[in-house]
Amino acid sequence: MFDKTMDGKNMVKGKVVLKKKNVLDVNDVGASVLDGVHEFFGQKISFQLISASHHNDKFTDGKLRGNVGNPAILEDWSSTTLEVKELIYEVEFEWIGLPGALVVKNNHHTEFFLKSLTLQDIPGYGQVHFDCNSWVYPSKFYEKDRVFFSNKAYLPNETPEFLTSYREQELSILRGNGYGELKEWDRVYDYAFYNDLGDPDNDVDYARPVLGGSSEYPYSRRGRTGRPSTKTDPKTESRLPLLKSLDIYVPRDERFGQLKLSDFLGYGFKSIAQFLVSEVLALDITYDEFDSFQDVLKTYEGGIKLPFLEKISKKIPFEFLKVISQTDGEGLAKFPMPQVIEVDKSAWRTDEEFAREMLAGVNPVSIRLLKLNSVFVHVVGENN
């Protein structure tokens, strides 16, 4: 049943589930403060339902569009926690007919992750659910409003006429126009040739051909980034500096989440540390080698004790640093035991295991049949 306002309007209640922005598991306090300032001046987050059953006569381009309801404002933003967890807000919409789509406007300074909106007690339908699972950036970054569609699935020819133009608009945004550099708030899924492998502006020796788009260098395509061309070769796209390589354009909804990115960085540091520890252990009497097999096993059995990290890790609030410096003091220098020697430390010595590791290695095609020496064949015979 509907709730009614004082002037007799039917109202529908809904629940919004979202997450506030965090950076590498560190609460972005600055962004939170700025969002609070925007809230204070009335620049809030709003939601508008689009009807799938009632059309709007105000559009002049000849296309029928569903009626767009009045904005429902998200209240109490500043009173909620900054912790990395889902937050639930109550919103209330004016009834405009069966909702088929949702317009979201973010008037804050910072993006947020919108998980879902659920409308309760829709006559004849019960719940109407919108699975969003998308980052919503401030409206100033979008040429068109962010639109989400309900979970009701339609074949193309069965899509309600009042939603068709919104569907076409969304598809056009996702395809992009093929021009310009893509920014983090863009949602373009476009493709380009591998034209960023070289750096001809640095030196002619760093020039590389474009992979793909020709019979000479056929190759699959990569995600388009649209960075400016190099000054030396207009066919080559400029590259990002190494320190900014993690900022290469990927649609925001496809990027690692906070915890996954923390794990990625943490295990990346561990991989580097594994190489460095091996080198350090080899720097004793003999260079570039271990003194015994036992020295190799020690890097897996207990690792190198770093007890001072236990105290440091307790004072570090960053989750991705805690992944690196586990509280047992061994996280950085303790590596997982290879499965082949977990049960039997000598299992790697067998011919079968050696052959398996060669075939499963990084370049098994380098294995070649031993070539016969012509002198050996003449003296011993080819059959021997």
pLDDT in tens, 267-314: 777 777 666 666 565 555 555 566 777 777 877 776 555 544 454 454
What is the torsion angle, in degrees rounded to the nearest 10, for the CA atoms of residue 132, residue 138, residue 139 and residue 143?
Answer: -90
Whether 372 has a pLDDT exceeding 50, the answer reads: yes
The closest alpha carbon to 17, from 136, 97, 108, belongs to 136
Instruction: Output the six-digit token pair for 52.
Output: 């799938």
Note the CATH number of domain 3-175: 2.60.60.20
Q: What pLDDT score does 212 carry?
A: 93
Task: Read off the pLDDT band of 327 (50, 70, 90).
Answer: very low
C-alpha of 145 from chain center: 22
**pLDDT tens for residues 336-349?**
788 888 888 888 88
> In whole angstroms, how far apart are CA 216 and each of 108, 173, 192, 200, 205?
50, 33, 17, 20, 20
Mean pLDDT of 335-364: 81
Q: What pLDDT score does 317 carry?
A: 43
Between CA 332 and CA 37 the distance in angstroms is 41
Mean pLDDT of 113-128: 90
CA geometry: angle 346, 347, 353, nearest 5 deg: 140
Q: Identify which has the larger pLDDT, 78 or 23.
A: 78
Q: What are phi and psi of 317, to 5 degrees?
A: -85, -10
Q: How many alpha carbons lie under 13 Å from residue 124 in its C-beta half-sphere?
A: 3
Give pTM, 2 decimals.
0.68
Whether 62 has a pLDDT exceeding 80, the answer reads: no
Out of 4.10.375.10, 2.160.10.10, 3.30.70.890, 3.90.79.10, which CATH number does the structure's domain 179-253 have?
Answer: 4.10.375.10
Same-fold call for 3-175 versus 179-253: no
Average pLDDT over all residues of the chain: 80
How is the chain split into domains, by residue range? 3-175, 179-253, 258-337, 348-384
Mean pLDDT of 237-254: 88
If you ran DSSP here, which 8-state letter would residue 117 be given?
E
Whether 167 has a pLDDT exceeding 90, the answer reads: yes
Mean pLDDT of 105-115: 93
Task: Read off the pLDDT band of 20 (50, 70, 90).
Answer: confident
